[in-house]
Structure 1
């Protein structure tokens, strides 16, 4: 029986590697670089899922799967169950699509894990175990003079997402990412980064202030972020002027992030000298809205929403920063979110 199960497992793995001709996972840190690496991307143009096989950065292949959504943002891949989850901006809910790895390019995928329609303007998605946290960047109180946002916390069980509670924040939101039990959040329209410690311990609807907020020097307006625990690296994107979607964007790499963040006082500034900035006309960065990072190859993947109408970009020559060209440049209209996975 054990031998039969082993054969079945090897066969499934072979089918998955054969079926993918496509694209990544923020939570894949520390994994063997020889494993297959895929980047999953969502967009606000047609809501479909595009996957990229980025195992060889010089030979990236892709496939697109058709979803019921017409616009989508935050994306996550559950490799244990072969399910892609998107925050649907057209259906205002979380949607999980099953059997993604075995689906052929151009095929339609249906919702296998569904949730209630609760949100108004869903954006980024962060996952911790069976908890799925979605940013809603609409204005909860309807007063533009009081910046606020909401974090919808869902629990996943079987084929359902159930809304557990809603946290209202005292600043506008965009990107979020977990580091253990702590949730880092972008303070939208600013160059600030906030953290909520032990975030999921807040189990009731409430208005919550951040545990700590810092200024990130060199950024004009940050949007996307990702944290890699194994290398202790934080990557933040800078969309700069919202009016210029073509060439004023960039991203910052902060190595040794934990000590740098902890050593910056609440309300203080993390100096540009402690970061590496990539920006300039050669980068094709105008409106980089989301980011994923592969610490094994030191490659940064960007969902670029503005330049050329939308692109998926990758940079692996980031050591000194500066005005560097991407090593991957694939068109994706209104690209909105990326997620990296290895298996």
Structure 2
């Protein structure tokens, strides 16, 4: 099996050989060509708790690898490329679990966690990572909670638990600020300097804004290089098949900072993708490749679950995905290039 690391090495070797052997002009001047880099999408699901990841470097030749875990349901997922560690939030074990040496694992291999945490949560959802801090949103009740873990060696230690006044789901860091969707609503909230709160207790959002066009949001992701925020809309929770969508907000920082608490980010400042051709019914999580402008979706409802990818969506509308893979109970996606 071609692993993540081996694919990158192969890409580097092929590109280097091409440059050395044939990339010269008429004056024998060396012409540099771009080096192929592997792009990988990691996924979790609530159907069996296994981890699947897709090599999406070439949209015409997408391959997948599945790793079998002891969890029966899982959600938030993250890959630490420097340490070759995949981390996911186990709903069945209500704990964060880290798996070592991902690139050495073969397809359908059974893996056991090498980095363990305590079972503190009730209904964990998405995870956001900042340095060695891993924040998990817990959706157990109307007062959402954030469980803040710190990784040291092979242990996830609960540092503190923060409670807020709305249900939570998707979360993402933008610098030191934590952005969170207001679940069961159409709002986006921010907690400035989130990790500076080091004790248990309540913490109110620094600002909440309404995102026009969204009925009920679940997933979000932020790409720093392109300053793009992407949010999902599951529509009516009773319709899991065809009323979902996602919103792309370019130039996000300036648009968000210009709004006061309680203001509305108008649809004119966003791009909305929705409609029957999208296969979006219950898009619960999202990832974004800022280099290619590709949006990846964990679709939990349509046909029982899918992993979707969109690009070239321009001004939005009813656009078909270029990637459409069945994944029962798809719950989380994380993109790594």
Verify same fold: TM over 0.5. Answer: yes
CA distance in structure 2 between the partners assigned to 1:43 and 1:106 by the alignment: 15
Secondary structure of 1:231's counterpart equals coil
Shift of 1:265: 1.4
| Unpaired runs of at least 5, structure 1 | 1-10, 19-31, 140-146
Aligned to 2:39: 37
Q: Figure out how many residues of one structure are paired with residues of the other and give that number.
A: 312
The match for 1:227 is 222
In the alignment, does 2:135 pair up with 1:133? yes
Instruction: From 103, 106, 109, give the equivalent of 1:107.
Output: 109
- TM-score normalised by length of structure 1: 0.89
What displacement does 1:13 show? 3.9
Indicate the residue corresponding to 1:52 in structure 2: 54
Query: 1 or 2 for the larger relative contact order (CA 8 Å, sep ≥6)?
Result: 1
Runs of 4+ that moved beyond 4 A: 15-18
Determine the C-alpha separation between the residues in 1 that align with 2:199 and 2:7: 43
1:304 aligned partner: 299
Query: What CA RMSD, in Å, does the superposition of the two structures yield over aligned residues?
Result: 1.5
- Secondary structure of residue in 2 paired with 1:173: coil
8 Å CA contact retained: 1:216, 1:269: yes
Q: 1:88 to 1:161 in 2, by over 3 A?
A: same
Whole-angstrom CA distance in 2 between matches of 1:227 and 1:16: 25
Q: Secondary structure at the match of 2:104?
A: coil
Would the aligned equivalents of 2:8 and 2:37 in 1 still touch at CA under 8 Å?
Answer: no
Question: Is residue 2:138 matched to residue 1:180?
Answer: no
- 1:238-277 correspondence to structure 2 within 5 Å: 238-277=233-272
- Picking from 297, 319, 322, the partner of 1:324 is 319
Structure 1 residues 13 and 287: alpha-carbon distance in aligned structure 2, compared to 1, 3 A threshold: closer
In structure 1, what is the equivalent of residue 285 of structure 2?
290
Are residues 1:202 and 2:194 paired? no
Q: CA deviation at 1:270?
A: 0.3
Residues 15-51 of structure 1, C-alpha deviation per residue, up to 9 Å, x if partnerless?
A: 7767xxxxxxxxxxxxx88321000000000000000
Query: CA 1:12 to 1:271, structure 2 compared with 1: closer, same or farther past 3 Å?
Result: closer
Deviation, structure 1 residue 317: 1.8
Give the secondary structure class of the aligned counterpart of 2:6. helix
Cα distance in 2 for partners of 1:183, 1:90 equals: 26
Alpha-carbon distance in 1 for matches of 2:323, 2:232: 17
Using the TM superposition, give the Cα deviation of residue 14 of structure 1 relative to its aligned residue in structure 2, in angstroms.
2.9
Instruction: Tell me how far 1:281 sits from its aligned partner.
Output: 0.3
Q: Tell me, which stretches of 5 or more residues in structure 2 are unaligned?
A: 11-33
Indicate the larger mover: 329-338 or 54-63: 54-63
| SS state at 2:116 partner | strand
Largest Rg, 1 or 2: 2
User: By how many angstroms is 1:206 displaced?
Assistant: 1.0
When normalised by structure 2's length, the TM-score is: 0.90
1:68-83 mapped onto 2 (5 Å cutoff): 68-83=70-85
The answer to whether the 8 Å contact 2:8/2:36 transfers is: no
Deviations 1:188-227 (A, max 9, x none): 0000000000000000001010000000000000000000
